[in-house]
Structure 1
């Protein structure tokens, strides 16, 4: 059967997720309670109390199939954003929306444009469908929308813009986006990945392009500020005609009922989102201040993580693992000298910085130098 598989699938390199707490506990002989995970940009406060209550209630109906159309959750999302339910499609995480888009619009030989340092799944999904990923340099680790527009060819079918960007935390603003969209031809679908949208004080408005009926999909998730990463629930926002096509690619019951209940309740818990945002802003500022004191180069972030240059990213990653601290090594993102650290609780952040200072005292960290991309 190996010889009958698609060649582009055989060449696919699987996505490398953040290391689970349970795995590190087994490897190092540590207690899970002694380990802190600052690797996957999760919410250290956990889910909203309202979401937890709704999920407990939903457990009583676990023997029934969920609402395959996600009527209530799609309606709640639409109401909050000033859209119609027909503009909303649910996914098993926003990652699944990327897969829907591939199924609907990609053919072998097509081109997908991404920034060089962008979420790895875009290129992986492109390859899964036999398309070619075109990586555009990103000076300052920020999307260069002028260069991305210039890279469009007749074979281009999709362009991914992550805003704020993962793993760099950088953003492009409204004027840059508007100039870019004015140059995008009708045969290209633009996907705005806004997984970290809620952490930004004054984010650009790309939903206007959904309302205008442009060829766009906006992706958001309940994994980050809502703290529901374990449930895998996200959504896409698109003009009705585009959303209808994506709905045809979706498997029945792809979004489970417990996740739908938690997401709907969490969506209405503004207080939980406010507290998460405040914790994130404080922790991010603390990291960046401490990196300055240590003389470490970092990329100023708009998200709930910071990318920092430590010298040998793999070695620092391993050293921190031995102390029960999980961060994200960046070699797979072509950034072998860097690690990405998610904002945790105040105590978790301080423990990470204390261990980083120990590594600095041992001469294991890089000295600050001008950023290059």
Structure 2
């Protein structure tokens, strides 16, 4: 086989352990999954009502233009319909951008600890990857990222709020950065966790797409909307940019059910706001726990938190999993003594904090 050489040492995405796998491995009846930043409160009740009433024929291909959802989302965001592109999750749009703009001889700039698919796709497409370390506060080092850009740079990736740290880019810093990026370099602003943000100095990214022709904003229905299994994401940018990107998009890439339920979920903003509030309450309770136990963490603008236990993150991960709580080890994320924890319901958070307490007591006794 004439494989691309860069594929030979590239590992596929490793999803977390499934609930059934953990139940069987540890002989447990109940598992709480807090590893993939899913919404513990599910999705809008209106989504299930809609699914139960559906009488569509599944023998037909989906609407390739995503007509109805496109119209409703454009109205919601106060933009034109042509300023939207849709994907099988925002993951697919990341892949589309990489396929359209990256190739051998070009480079792409990103933070050193950020969403892994930026680097993964760039390697597949043969581009040079330039990773810029985060600051001491685990934020994007925008001045250093600017210095990494040269005449062969094609794409810059910004994840704000950032995964896995939960930190964000302040509005003034972002605008200053955009003003200095060359116009022929695409800036991708990944806002998968946008709806969770409460920071007062955050920015209006949609408005920024009107000012900067080299900016695309990515969002998803997988997180706060609780529709991860339907795989619907979208990008916002100027018409000319998207007209050039569109030929990369696979035909019928957004499934019929996904188009229908996301439109319904979009209409239920009361559910979104309720989830945002409950998530913030959960974060505050975890902050208090970590502070009381002298564990360092990064304040988060998302539905997850990265916390440092000062021991092998895999050890923490394994212990909590044995108690029925699946979190994400920080080892593959670049934070070897940390774990990333999705904020759950109050009951789930309380149970997790008890399990973490047991771990800390166990470590103290054995040490």
Unaligned runs of 5+ in 1: 368-373
CA deviations over 1:62-85 (Å, ceiling 9, x no partner): 232211110111111111111111
Q: Match of 1:370?
A: none
- CA positional deviation for 1:212: 2.8
TM-score by length of 2: 0.95
* 1:120 is the counterpart of 2:116: yes
* 1:350 is the counterpart of 2:347: no
* 1:239 is the counterpart of 2:238: yes
Q: Is the 8 A contact 1:58 1:261 kept in 2?
A: no
Distance in 2 (alpha carbons) for counterparts of 1:283 and 1:182? 37
TM-score by length of 1: 0.94
- Secondary structure of residue in 1 paired with 2:180: coil
Q: Match of 2:152?
A: 155
- CA positional deviation for 1:213: 4.9
Q: Match of 1:225?
A: 224
CA deviations over 1:100-138 (Å, ceiling 9, x no partner): 101211112311111111111110011111112111011
* 1:53 is the counterpart of 2:49: yes
Aligned CA-pair RMSD? 1.5
- CA positional deviation for 1:205: 1.4
- CA positional deviation for 1:252: 1.3
Q: Is the 8 A contact 2:313 2:336 kept in 1?
A: yes
Q: Match of 2:269?
A: 270
Distance in 2 (alpha carbons) for counterparts of 1:153 and 1:5? 30
Q: Match of 2:73?
A: 77
- CA positional deviation for 1:155: 1.2
Q: Match of 2:329?
A: 329
Q: Match of 2:34?
A: 38
Specify whether residues 45 and 208 from structure 1 end up closer, same or farther in structure 2 by C-alpha distance, changes over 3 A only.
same
Distance in 2 (alpha carbons) for counterparts of 1:213 and 1:185? 11
Q: Match of 2:214?
A: 215
- CA positional deviation for 1:59: 5.7
Specify whether residues 59 and 141 from structure 1 end up closer, same or farther in structure 2 by C-alpha distance, changes over 3 A only.
farther
Unaligned runs of 5+ in 2: none
Q: What is the 5 A alignment of 1:94-113?
A: 94-113=90-109
- Secondary structure of residue in 1 paired with 2:234: strand
Specify whether residues 109 and 290 from structure 1 end up closer, same or farther in structure 2 by C-alpha distance, changes over 3 A only.
same
Q: Match of 1:189?
A: 186
